[in-house]
Amino acid sequence: MSKFRKKEYSAPVTGSRWFVSSLERKYHLHGRDHDNSRLNVLFLVVDDLAPVLSSYDGRALTPNIDQLASQSIRFTHAYSQQPVCAPSRVSFLTGRRPDSTKVYYNRGLYWRTNVGNFTTLPQYMKEAGYFTASIGKVFHNGPVCGKHDDSPYSWSVLPYHAPTLKFDYDPVCPGSDGKLHFNLLCPVNISTQPLGSLPDIQNTDHILEILQNISRKNDISSSDDQPFFLAMGFHKPHISLRYPEEYLGLYPLESIDIAPNAFYSKTQPPVAWNPFMDIRRREDIAALQMSFPYGPVPEKYHYLIRQSYYAATTFMDYELGRVLAGLEEAGFAENTIITFISDHGWQLGEHQEWSKFSNYATATNVPVMIHIPGVTDPVRNNGQRSIKFALKDPFQLVKKHPSIKDKPVSKGLVNDALVELVDLFPTVVDLVDLPVPPLCSEGITLDTCVEGVSLSPLITDSVKSPKNGRPGIGTWKKAAFTQYPRPSDNPRADSDQPALVNITIMGYSMINHTYHYTEWIGFNNVTCEGNWSDVHARELYVLLSDPLEDNNVADVPSYSTTVQVLSKLLQNGWRYALPAYIEQ
């Protein structure tokens, strides 16, 4: 069992200085039975997963993620820095925001050659002596990360991608006409699929093999165990919604809910609209001949898409359960930190929108959980904290408890302070007791620095006060920051993912517990700088009275002073919203 001990926070060599008081002390962790061995890290990333999980009071049946949540700290107000795959992943893996990496779309330029030789989280772990491996979708593979998932910088071995992944954009979805199609809705018989499998199944098989190989190696030579950093990226529920057809049976169509705000808000400025071109291009959706850019998706398909999204999520959950059970079986559950995140959210008909590609919270809010062995585990009957991961079969659960979706879920520790995915890098290295990289200084380029902060103080407060949902919130971040680019004021075919050369507007957004405020401003795609004097549109949502963000009041006279105040805070940026005890 790992030890959980107090230690003063030591300031980084350069960058920010941390003020430590008795209330701001943190716990640091050390591995197994001796202080020299470090904890392992299992870094789990899910693609396009909104907080629809049971542990987040969502509709999707996710017993394995719920099991992890019951033994973790769960953050309820966590945000992606840009809701599209490559920009988000480059951001949280480098610990820097999109305006620093200059990655704004999936086919962007490699940050190392375009901007700077920024150190990544896995690279930092590798250089500290960890064995690092990437399985599945961790980086968004392609030129944006050097064509090989940032190898060899970040990984000890060549990243693994499932052989079946190459069929993702092929016509593999059975249609009612007996032919195969390139569809959005794609429940399949696995035996009829290319190579008789699916990417998430093959990726899971691969990481289980790695865990067993490491376990066997350690059994042979336990005196010199090398800690590991294993990053596992699940593809579902990213579209196409291709999953084993039996999962559809868990969600009878009559049981599917409708988005609570499934309507177009007339107060939304046109520049903010996401025309969801990625789903329009699928054969089954294209056949609906929806008008551009607002649609809407026919009501029947509103239910069908949500149904398949939930089914794909439960399929992913089962594969994730296999990974957790494999970690237990290999003997690593007691000395492995587990982080679980999504790269961004996904709009399921809210505001009449689908996919991501916007600054709405439905696109930027993500699930984040951190499991720390012996720390975040619940206290068992013997008074000790202990870990247990076993594969949960959703079909057996539903068979045993037909109304299981209505039953309370053990949600573990909870914290609703404002956190960002860019905080992951400093948090992970902090929890394994490595030096936390300094905060990046404005105007100064360092290879190794971060633009987020370690969440250790929040974790400590939550462990101390498990019944308090908001420990540390008063001294934590004042806001979370997101952004999204557009090519024009009005929606067009490339509005969702404009190439850098076509970006002329950037929507900068900040959210706290009271307001969500956005300014769409002119953007220079050569210098990658915004012009705050060139405001194209504003959005203001008062979350206390309008939590679903349906009524933009930015132009309402009674909110003019509020807009002025928030505009100033937004222009000040993320540095001025950091926890009060951080000195820059």
Point out the residues that are catalytic: 85, 140
CA 515 to chain centre: 22
Contact 31, 38 (CB under 8 A): yes
Alpha-carbon distance values, 94 to 119, 140, 475, 576 (Å): 6, 13, 25, 21
Distance CA 183, CA 286 (A): 9
How far is Cα 58 from Cα 333, in angstroms, rounded to an integer? 27
Q: Are 412 and 378 in contact (CB under 8 A)?
A: yes
End-to-end CA distance of the chain: 37
> Which residues are paired to 365 by β-bridges?
79
Closest CA to 149 of 245, 45, 58, 18: 45
Contact, 509 vs 272, CB < 8 A?
Answer: no
Other C-beta atoms lying within 10 Å of the C-beta of residue 196: 11
What string of DSSP letters covers 382-415? Answer: TSSB--------HHHHHHH-TTGGGS-----EEE
Residue 522 phi/psi, 5-degree rounding, is -60, 145
Q: Are 509 and 518 in contact (CB under 8 A)?
A: yes
Report d(CA 110, CA 146) in Å as an integer: 6
Of 343, 351, 269, 257, nearest to 306 (Cα)? 257
Strand stretches in 458-528, DSSP E: 480-486, 505-511, 515-524
Cis-peptide, bond into residue 223, ω within 30° of zero: no
Beta bridge partners of 400: none
Question: Bridge-partner residues for 443, per DSSP?
Answer: none
Alpha-carbon span 508 to 29, nearest angstrom = 37
